[in-house]
Every structure is written in C-alpha cells, then in structure tokens.
Amino acid sequence: MNKRYFMLLLVFILTLALAACTDDSNVEEGADGSADGESTSEDSEASGGSGSGDLTIAMMDDAVTLDPHGSNDSASAQVRRNIYETLVFQETDMELAPGLAEEWEATEDDVWTFTLREGTTFHEGSEFTAEDVKATMDRVRDTAVASQVAFLFEMISEVEVVGDYEVNMHTEYPFAPLPSHLAHNTAGIMSKDIIDRDYQAALDEAGVDMTADEYYELREEGGSEYDDVAEQISEHLGSVIGSEADGTNHLMFESRSAGEETVLEKFDDFQGGDREFETVTFRVIPENGARMAELETGGIQVAGDVDSSSAVRVEEGEETELVEQESVRMSYLGFNTEKEPFDDVKVRQAISYAIDRDEIISGVYDDMGIKAEGPLAPDVWGHDENLEGVEYDMERAKELLSETDVADGFETTIWVDEDPQIIDTAVYIQEKLSELNIDVQVEQFEWGTYLDRTAQGDHEMFILGWTTVTADADYGLYALFHSNSHGETGNRSFYTNEEVDSLLDEGRTEPDEDTRFEAYSQAQEILIEEAPAAYLFHTNFAIGVNSSQVSGVDLDPVGNIRIENVTFE
C-alpha cells in the first residue's frame, strides 16, 4: 500500500467515525434537558466545553464589610446578597417571592408567622433552622452591635421559635411593610454558629468572663448589667463576621483583599437552582475608563456603575452590551441643618431654587434619568405624583437669600466621593451658587471616609444618593429625615421636625394603606417646603456586559447586578 493511498483511506475512516459521533438521533435527553453523555455545567469545564466559568465583576467602590449588620452601602450589598439569603426574596421587578421562608402571613395585627424552607445547609455545613433566624434578628437589634440598619428591624419586639421551621415575629405595632424589610440585603440570615463565635470572640477580647449563651440570657433580661457588658464588647463585635461569612446562598466566601477584590466560589449544595459560574470576583476599579477598557478586552465580564458618558461606548461596542434600568434612587444635595447658615430654611430654599436639575440631567448624565420632584422616586409606593417640586428660578433664589443674615453671600463647601459624575454635579452647583455670591469649595473624599465623616456631621453640604431598596416610603423617608436616624443611619442632614417625625411614625404603624399614604403625602409636602435637602434627580442604573463571554446578566431598580441566570458563551 503506497503512502498516498494509506492517507486517503485514513481520512475516509476518520470521516465515518466523526459522522457517527455527531448523530444524536438515538440520544435521549436527561432530566435536566441535556442529552445523556453530554457535559453539563458541572463537568463542561473539565471537558473543554462551554457552560461554566469564572465571572469577574468590576465595581467603582469596594465593599465596606461582609457583615450584613455592619454597613448599608451599595457596594457591600452587591457582594453580600450573593452570600446570604433572606427570608423574603425580591424579584428583579421588585415583587416579593419566597426565600428562606416558603410562606408568611400576618396572623395577628402585630404578629407575622414565617414557615421556613427545609433541607437547607449553610456554607460551613450546619443545617438552617429557626434558631438561625432568631440569632440573626436578635443580633441586628442588639445595642452592643450598634447597627446602622437597626432602624429596619427595630419594630420587631421578639422572634419566637415555634418549631424547627417556623417562627413568629412579634412587632411593637402593626407594621405592614415588614416582608419588604426582610427582603433587604441586611436581613441576610447568618448561621447561629458564626454569630456565636463572633460574640464569644468579642467577650474574650473585652476580658468579660462569660459565654455567648450567658450573654444572650443577660440580653433577654435587660437591665444595667446587660448595658455594661454591651458597652464593653461593642467595639469588638463583628471581627469574625466581618472577615468570614456563613450564609446559604449560591456563593461562599473565598478571599478578600481590601481595596482590590473579593473572591467568592460556587456553593455546590445551594438549593435554589443550578448556577454556571465557578467563582465570582468583585474587582475594585474606581476609574470609569479603566473599567470600560477591561470590559472591552475581556479582562472583566461585567462592568458596574457605567456612567452616561461611557454608555454609548458600551452600547456600540462590537462585543459589549449595555443593560440599563430605571431606578428607585434619589440623588440629593444635603445640608447640615445644625450648622449656620443652613439652619435657616430660606438659605436652603434659595440654594434649591438656584439649581437647574434639567441641566444636570442633560449635561452631566446625558438624559439618563429624570428630575426629582421630591424625596421619593415615582416607582416607590407612597410617592405622591400631585406634589410640586422646586423649579429652577434664580430670581426667586436671590429674593430668598436677601431675606437672610447672609444676604451678601458666604463661603462654604460641598463634600463628594470619588464618583466623576457626582464631582461634575458639584462643580455645576458651585458655578450656579456663585451667582448668589456663595463661594463654594468642592472637597473630595474616599468612600469609606466620606461616609464616616458625614455620619459624624463634619460637613456643611454634601451630595449623596439614597436607594429605596424596599420600594416603600417608610424606607425612603424614615432613614433620611426622622430625628431618630441622625448620622450613619441616613439622616446626614441632622434634620429634626416633630411634625415630620409624627407623620413618619404614623406611616409605619398604621395598617390601613390609604391612611399610610396620606401620612407620607403630608410628610413629603413638608420636606419639599423645608428643604433639608435639595432633591436633584433619579438616575438610571447601567452596567456593561461582555456579550462575547457571558449572557443572562440582569439589573434591578435597586441597582443590584443579578447573576442568577448567567451563562458562559
């Protein structure tokens, strides 16, 4: 047999073999829709096929902490919501659905009963039961923890364990939006094991000769002894939970380098459906241009916080896709009402009238948003569309300022974080206020420092945003404007108004929906008039996706990047 004939025969045999391998007419589909013998997401990486992979998401800001009770910032929420599950799950359209609780109902005006999911395990191996729910909710309300999100759960007076998979939550008053609050990322359920270890570490560090269980008993009793111990251990709490994590969601903690990245890996025993990622890395890339470049070159698969100037670039990219979503976020210029001259309502009103919100939306945000009439976005329950916001009127601004002790103008500062669009907004406001002879200096801070110092009240004016995560007016107004919320809880304007307090209290305690709405409508009317903040705009959220590598990435009105349905190309 000559060499030429041998080669032709070999090609012929290989062709027949290949045809046989690709004929699937006799192959049955498996239960998961894949054909028997095909690689699924679990084994496709090893076989060299698509279906699973490593996902990298770039964010502008770093997560502050892994402790759900340790902060209330968006960057931390992006990471934590993938580690911890909540009792109630919030769908992409903001509808509520079962999470770790399969069912819930208000069995009495002040009692909610939750039936829990069975067969769920935590990342470290313990079984999820009602005891974990009680431990988590007791912790967030513990004065020793001093959680800035305690206001979300302070109406809960007792978590009663009825059985292994049933709890009753008793509230101090009827509280209609409780399920929405329990869908908040800071209501993520931690294992009792890690909570016990965190308390024990704090007790040991503080030199308190007591076990965690003994501390819990003391907490139940209350009194001065509990107050003393709580004060001693307060600064030590969170060290374990802040550096580790033990949840039940589809990703578990692998590693963290502060300021650089947080790496999570797939939890194989997750109950909520198959996932195609093996690891998810949240990288911190503050510069917009750098994030876009990494997205285009495939260094990352998802770019968070796409600003309007980069949106067209992402949208028109050959291998990139823009995902845009209207939001329930309100951006505002806040005034420290405890400092002169911002304790004068006419000064605040004058500044508010001097700002042309439409110019900011078009000039800074390229029309990716709408003007804010008040503190609530249109899609938030309780927003009153009949209320009129502040219109741009420089003459009215000058008239109001002329009636104050600073009629000739004054010097002040606007504090901002590292967001370029926020900085541009501040520069725009700086220019407009110069027409009132108000000399403004724009001062920029790193995100964590910015939050700490505005919580302490060191500022005069500041620009910040507030996302009404629960889509209910209680969350959108109580944290920002109730006098109980001064500082890190959200009221960085340090605004106090007894009538507003009363209306917000009524809104959260009144079971009748119409009465609640009226209370919130009146509160918004006062807040627009008194202007503890100048309500600026509701921006659209946007992210970029490298569509040549992944698909199925979604974005909700809260700004959460949803990766449940991610598939790898």
More confident residue, 87 or 421: 87
Amino acid at 130: A
What pLDDT, in 10s, does the model give residues 242-272?
A: 889 999 999 999 999 999 999 999 999 998 8
pLDDT score of 34:
32
Please give the structure tokens belonging to residue 51.
């279906």
Amino acid at 469: V
**Among residues 243, 261, 294, which one ends one of the domains?**
243
Q: 316 and 233 in one domain?
A: no
pLDDT score of 448:
84
Question: Mean pLDDT, to the nearest integer, of 151-169?
Answer: 96
218 found inside a domain: yes
pLDDT score of 511:
82
pLDDT score of 52:
80
Count the domains in the chain: 3
350 found inside a domain: yes
Question: Mean pLDDT, to the nearest integer, of 154-174?
Answer: 96
pLDDT score of 53:
92
159 vs 139: CA distance, rounded Å: 11
More confident residue, 400 or 30: 400
More confident residue, 510 or 37: 510
pLDDT score of 26:
31
pLDDT score of 273:
87
pLDDT score of 290:
95
What pLDDT, in 10s, does the model give residues 491-516?
A: 999 999 999 999 999 998 888 889 99
What pLDDT, in 10s, does the model give residues 65-82?
A: 999 999 988 899 999 999
Q: 467 and 347 in one domain?
A: yes
Q: 509 and 418 in one domain?
A: yes
- At 446, which CATH number? 3.10.105.10
Q: Count the helices and strands in the chain (H runs, E runs).
A: 19, 23
Q: What residues contact residue 364 under an 8 Å CB cut-off, 6+ apart?
A: 308, 421, 424, 425, 428
34 found inside a domain: no
DSSP state of 219: H
Please give the structure tokens belonging to residue 267.
């939890």
Q: 474 and 335 in one domain?
A: yes
Q: 206 and 232 in one domain?
A: yes
> Band of the pLDDT at 49, cuts 50, 70, 90?
very low
pLDDT score of 272:
85
What pLDDT, in 10s, does the model give residues 452-491?
A: 999 999 999 999 999 998 989 999 999 999 999 999 889 9
> Band of the pLDDT at 57, cuts 50, 70, 90?
very high
Please give the structure tokens belonging to residue 312.
């067209």
Q: Which among 56, 57, 93, 60 is positioned nearest to 74, based on CA atoms? A: 60
DSSP H helical ranges for 283-356 = 288-297, 308-316, 345-353
Question: Mean pLDDT, to the nearest integer, of 386-409?
Answer: 96
553 vs 550: CA distance, rounded Å: 8
**Among residues 208, 243, 278, which one ends one of the domains?**
243
Q: Which among 384, 544, 373, 381 is positioned nearest to 469, based on CA atoms? A: 381
DSSP H helical ranges for 302-446 = 308-316, 345-353, 357-363, 394-402, 420-433
pLDDT score of 51:
57
Q: 295 and 364 in one domain?
A: no
- At 273, which CATH number? 3.40.190.10
Q: 204 and 114 in one domain?
A: yes
pLDDT above 90: residue 219: yes
% of residues, the chain, pLDDT over 90? 83
Peptide bond into 179 cis (omega under 30): no
pLDDT above 80: residue 523: yes
493, 198 Cβ separation under 8 angstroms: no
What pLDDT, in 10s, does the model give residues 347-378?
A: 999 999 999 999 999 999 999 999 999 999 99
Please give the structure tokens belonging to residue 367.
């029309």
228 found inside a domain: yes
Distances from the Cα of 552 to the Cα of 77, 101, 566, angstroms: 20, 26, 4
374, 387 Cβ separation under 8 angstroms: yes
- What pTM does this model have? 0.78
**Among residues 193, 221, 243, which one ends one of the domains?**
243
pLDDT score of 512:
86
Amino acid at 261: E
Q: 492 and 469 in one domain?
A: yes
Q: 383 and 238 in one domain?
A: no
49 found inside a domain: no
DSSP state of 191: P
pLDDT score of 18:
36
Q: 215 and 93 in one domain?
A: yes
pLDDT score of 43:
35
Q: 550 and 509 in one domain?
A: no
247 vs 238: CA distance, rounded Å: 15
511 vs 142: CA distance, rounded Å: 26
Range of the domain at 397: 329-539
What pLDDT, in 10s, does the model give residues 371-397?
A: 999 999 999 999 999 999 999 999 999
Q: 238 and 256 in one domain?
A: no
- At 162, which CATH number? 3.90.76.10
What pLDDT, in 10s, does the model give residues 430-458?
A: 999 999 999 999 999 998 899 999 999 99
